[in-house]
Amino acid sequence: MTEFLQYTLQGLAAGGFYALAALGLAVIFGVLGVVNFSHGACYMLGAMVAALLLQHFDLGFWPALVIVPVIMFFFGVLVERLLVQWLLRLDPLYNFLLTFGLTLLTVDVMKRQFGVSSLKYQVPAGLEGRFTIGSVDLSVYQLFAAAFAVVICLAVWMILTKTRVGMIVRAATEDAERSRALGINVARWVTPVFGFGIALAGLAGVLAAPYRAINADMGSNFIIILFAIVVIGGLGSILGAVVAGFLVGLVEAYGQGYYGQLSQVLIFVLMAAVVLIRPAGLFGREEVA
Amino acid sequence: MRHTRMISLAAMVASSGLVLTACGSAGGGPASGGDSKLSDDKVVLGLLNDQSGVYKDLSGPNSKVAIEMAIADYKAKYGDDAVAKNIEIVMADHQNKPDIANTKAQEMYDRDKADIILDVPTSSAALAVATQAKAKKKLHINVGAATTALTGKSCNKYTFHWAYDTYMLANGTGTVLVGEGGKNWSIVYPDYAFGQDMTKSFTAAVEKGGGTVQQSIATPFPNDNFATFITKAESSKPDVIGIMAAGGDLVNFVKQYNQAGLQGKTTLAVGLMFITDIHTLGVEQFAGTTFTDAWYWNMDAESKAWADKFKEKTNTRPSFAHAGNYSAALQYLEAIQEAGTDGSDDVVAKLEGKKVNDVFLRNGEIRAGDHRVLHDAYLVKVKDKANVKEEWDYEEIIKTIPAAEAFNPTVSADCKM
Amino acid sequence: MSDALLKVEDLSAFYGEAQALRNVSLDVAAGEVVTLVGRNGAGKTTLLRSIMGLHKGTRGSVTLDGVSLDGKSADKRARLGLGWVPDDRGIYATLSVAENLSLPPVVDKAAAWSLDKIYEQFPVLHERRDFPGTKLSGGEQQMLAMARPLRAGSRLLLLDEPSEGLAPVIVNQIGQIIRDIKAQGVAVLLVEQNVKFASTVADRHNLLAQGEVVESLDNAEFQSRTAELLEHLGM
A132 and chain B in contact, CB less than 8 A = no
Polymer length in residues for chain C: 235
Of A183, A187, A285, the CB nearest to C105: A183
Chain A residues closer than 8 Å to C86 by CB: 178, 181
Of A218, A235, A260, the CB nearest to B248: A218
As to burial, measured by CB atoms within 10 angstroms (0-12 exposed, 13-18 middle, 19+ buried), residue A166 is middle
What is the Cβ-side half-sphere exposure of residue B27, based on CA atoms within 13 angstroms? 18
Q: Given an 8 Å threshold on Cβ–Cβ distance, is A35 in contact with B6?
A: yes
What is the Cβ-side half-sphere exposure of residue A114, based on CA atoms within 13 angstroms? 22
Binding partners of B (≥3 Cβ pairs within 8 A): A
Nearest to C152 by CA among C79, C76, C51: C79
- Quote the mean pLDDT of chain B: 88
Is the model more confident about A69 or about C38?
A69
Interhelix angle for A92-114 vs A218-233, to 10°? 150
Nearest to A137 by CA among A254, A13, A225: A13
pLDDT over threshold 60, residue A246: yes
Of B1, B52, B232, the CB nearest to A287: B1
Helix (H, G, I), strand (E, B), or coil: what is residue C83?
Answer: strand
- Distances in Å between the Cα of B238 and the Cα atoms of B11, B266, B408, C90 are 42, 7, 27, 65
Give the integer Cα–Cα distance in Å for B102 and B110: 12
Chain A residues closer than 8 Å to C149 by CB: 182
pLDDT over threshold 90, residue B62: yes
Q: Given an 8 Å threshold on Cβ–Cβ distance, is B259 in contact with A213?
A: no
Q: Do B167-293 and B39-164+300-376 have the same topology in CATH?
A: yes
pLDDT over threshold 60, residue B3: no
CA B72 to the chain's CA centroid: 24
Nearest to B115 by CA among B275, B274, B332: B332
Q: Given an 8 Å threshold on Cβ–Cβ distance, is B53 in contact with A116?
A: yes
Digit-by-digit pLDDT tens for chain C (235 residues) are 447 899 999 999 998 888 889 999 999 999 999 999 988 888 899 999 999 999 888 899 999 999 999 999 999 999 999 999 998 899 998 889 999 999 999 988 888 889 899 999 899 999 998 998 888 998 999 999 999 999 999 999 999 999 888 899 999 999 999 999 899 899 999 998 888 899 999 999 999 888 889 889 999 898 888 888 878 777 7
Q: What is the pLDDT of residue A90?
A: 80
Give the integer Cα–Cα distance in Å for B116 and B138: 6
Give the integer Cα–Cα distance in Å for C218 and C34: 9
Confidence tier at B53 by pLDDT (50, 70, 90): confident
Q: What is the pLDDT of residue B220?
A: 87
| Architecture of the B39-164+300-376 domain | 3-Layer(aba) Sandwich (3.40)
Give the integer Cα–Cα distance in Å for B241 and B286: 14
Sequence spans of domains, chain B: 39-164+300-376, 167-293
Confidence tier at A286 by pLDDT (50, 70, 90): low
Q: Please tell me the distance in Å from C53's CA to the nearest CA on chain A.
A: 8
Could you tell me which residues are beta bridge partners of residue B141?
B118, B160
Nearest to C175 by CA among A21, B78, C167: C167
CATH number of this structure's domain C4-34+43-213: 3.40.50.300
pLDDT per position as a tens digit, A33-53:
888 999 999 999 999 999 999
Sequence spans of domains, chain C: 4-34+43-213
Q: What is the pLDDT of residue B28?
A: 34
Q: What angle do CA A50, A55, A58 make, to 5 degrees?
A: 85
What is the Cβ-side half-sphere exposure of residue B249, based on CA atoms within 13 angstroms? 22
Q: What is the pLDDT of residue A173?
A: 76
- Quote the mean pLDDT of chain A: 89
pLDDT over threshold 50, residue A12: yes
Q: What is the pLDDT of residue A221?
A: 86
| Residue in B closest to A222 by C-alpha | B224
Give the integer Cα–Cα distance in Å for B293 and B271: 10
Binding partners of C (≥3 Cβ pairs within 8 A): A
Q: What is the pLDDT of residue B36?
A: 54
Q: Please tell me the distance in Å from A3's CA to the nearest CA on chain C.
A: 41
| Residues whose CB is less than 8 angstroms from the CB of residue C199 and which lie 6 or more positions away in sequence, other chains included | C205, C219, C222, C223, C226
Mean pLDDT of B270-279: 90
C84 and chain A in contact, CB less than 8 A = yes
pLDDT over threshold 50, residue A288: no
Name the helix (H) or strand (E) containing B75: helix B62-78
Contact call for residues B154 and B179 (beta carbons, < 8 A): no
A8 and chain B in contact, CB less than 8 A = no
Could you tell me which residues are beta bridge partners of residue B190?
B219
As to burial, measured by CB atoms within 10 angstroms (0-12 exposed, 13-18 middle, 19+ buried), residue A171 is buried
Contact call for residues B274 and B299 (beta carbons, < 8 A): no
A216 and chain B in contact, CB less than 8 A = no
Q: Tell me what percent of the residues of chain A surpass a pLDDT of 90.
A: 52
Contact call for residues C167 and C141 (beta carbons, < 8 A): no
- Distances in Å between the Cα of C150 and the Cα atoms of B327, C34, C117, C133 are 87, 18, 10, 17
- Positive or negative, the CA dihedral C177, C182, C187, C191 is positive
What is the Cβ-side half-sphere exposure of residue A174, based on CA atoms within 13 angstroms? 18
Q: Please tell me the distance in Å from C219's CA to the nearest CA on chain A.
A: 30
Give the integer Cα–Cα distance in Å for B370 and A21: 51
Interface test with chain A among C94, C99, C148, C154, by most A beta carbons within 10 Å: C94
Chain B residues closer than 8 Å to A217 by CB: 248
pLDDT per position as a tens digit, C37-59:
988 888 899 999 999 999 888 89
The full DSSP string for B114-174 is: -SEEEE--SHHHHHHHHHHHHHHT-EEEE-S---GGGGTTT--TTEEE-S--HHHHHIIII
Nearest to A256 by CA among B257, B196, B226: B226
pLDDT over threshold 50, residue B35: no
pLDDT per position as a tens digit, B160-215:
999 999 999 999 999 888 988 899 999 999 988 788 889 999 999 999 999 999 99
Contact call for residues B332 and B139 (beta carbons, < 8 A): yes
Could you tell me which residues are beta bridge partners of residue A223?
none
Binding partners of A (≥3 Cβ pairs within 8 A): B, C
Give the integer Cα–Cα distance in Å for B53 and B57: 8
Give the integer Cα–Cα distance in Å for C17 and C21: 12
pLDDT per position as a tens digit, A167-208:
998 888 778 889 999 999 888 888 999 999 999 999 999 999
pLDDT per position as a tens digit, B303-314:
999 999 999 999
CATH number of this structure's domain B167-293: 3.40.50.2300
- Distances in Å between the Cα of B28 and the Cα atoms of A139, B78, B108, B111, B138 are 59, 35, 11, 8, 14
Give the integer Cα–Cα distance in Å for B114 and B29: 13
Contact call for residues B108 and B92 (beta carbons, < 8 A): yes
Give the integer Cα–Cα distance in Å for A213 and B357: 39
Q: Given an 8 Å threshold on Cβ–Cβ distance, is C90 in contact with A178?
A: yes
Mean pLDDT of B92-116: 95
Give the integer Cα–Cα distance in Å for B281 and B263: 15
Helix (H, G, I), strand (E, B), or coil: what is residue C93?
Answer: coil
Give the sheet arrangement for strand C58-64, strand by strand: C18-29, C4-15, C58-64, C67-68
Q: Please tell me the distance in Å from A262's CA to the nearest CA on chain B.
A: 7
Q: Please tell me the distance in Å from A116's CA to the nearest CA on chain B.
A: 6
Give the integer Cα–Cα distance in Å for C41 and C191: 12
This complex has an ipTM of: 0.88
Q: Please tell me the distance in Å from C11's CA to the nearest CA on chain A.
A: 19
Peptide bond into B190 cis (omega under 30): no
Nearest to A206 by CA among A128, A140, A106, A123: A123
Give the integer Cα–Cα distance in Å for A163 and B263: 47
| Residue in A closest to C98 by C-alpha | A167
Looking only at the bridges linking them, the beta strands covering B364-366 and B373-374 are: antiparallel
- Distances in Å between the Cα of B148 and the Cα atoms of B159, B372, B391 are 12, 9, 33
Q: What is the pLDDT of residue A188?
A: 86
